[in-house]
Amino acid sequence: MVSIQLFKDNDKYKDDVFAAVNGERVQIKRGERVQIKRKFADVLEQSMRQDTATANMIERQSAEYEAKAKSLNI
């Protein structure tokens, strides 16, 4: 078991988080320190890494688009 605490606000990050690994599911309450199995913590970590990679890719692509549009006076 590992201890985690998920960020909570009153907007996008207010609801519980559901995670599943090989058919086993868990509901994780935001804003409170909870104990979960390591496999669920690993899934959450992998998801955060993928979200970061996606955001970085979008940022790069947007910058490339803006540079290309500027070079074409669009």
What pLDDT is attached to residue 74? Answer: 85
Kindly compute the dihedral angle of the four CA atoms of residues 19, 22, 23, 24, in this order, to the nearest 10 degrees: -60
What pLDDT is attached to residue 32? Answer: 96
What pLDDT is attached to residue 61? Answer: 98
- List pLDDT tens digits, range 7-28: 999 999 999 999 999 999 999 9
- List pLDDT tens digits, range 38-49: 999 999 999 999
Residue 41 CB burial class (10 angstroms; 0-12, 13-18, ≥19) = middle
Whole-structure pTM value:
0.78
The mean pLDDT value of the chain amounts to: 96
What pLDDT is attached to residue 50? Answer: 98
Element (H, E) at 34: strand 33-36
CA atoms of 27 and 18, how far apart (whole Å)? 5
